[in-house]
Amino acid sequence: MQKMGYLCNVIQSSKPGILMVVVQMVHAGMNILYKLVSENGVNLRILFAYRMLFATAFMGPLALIFERKTRPKLTWVVMFQAFLCGLLG
């Protein structure tokens, strides 16, 4: 039983490192995919639009679920700040 507890502690402590490796692998895969698609003649603006569309479709519901109780009220100041962030990047 003591070995099992040690194994659980090792797994718990290495989660950030494992997650960073997984994120880098996904990022590399996406770059390879973009390179293959762009070589086939797809317009890069359309590819970028699809990327933003899929990111919004994936992240939007996650943000609504996990941030539902901590969202600030949607006031004009918040809207203006969001506009400036979007404009200036």
Please report the pLDDT score of residue 1 as a whole number.
58
Rounded to the nearest integer, the mean pLDDT of the chain is 87
Cβ-proximal residues to 53 (8 Å cutoff; 6+ apart), any chain: none
Structure token pair of residue 74: 């949607």
pLDDT of residue 4: 77
Q: Rounded to whole angstroms, how far apart are CA atoms 83 and 81?
A: 5
Q: Is the pLDDT of residue 52 over 70?
A: yes
54: left (phi over 0), alpha (psi -120 to 50) or beta: alpha
Residue 72 pLDDT > 80, yes or no? Answer: no
pTM score: 0.55
Per-residue confidence (pLDDT) for residue 51, from 0 to 100: 85
Sign of the alpha-carbon dihedral angle for 34, 40, 45, 50: negative
Report how far residue 49's alpha carbon sits from residue 14's, in angstroms, rounded to the nearest whole number.
36
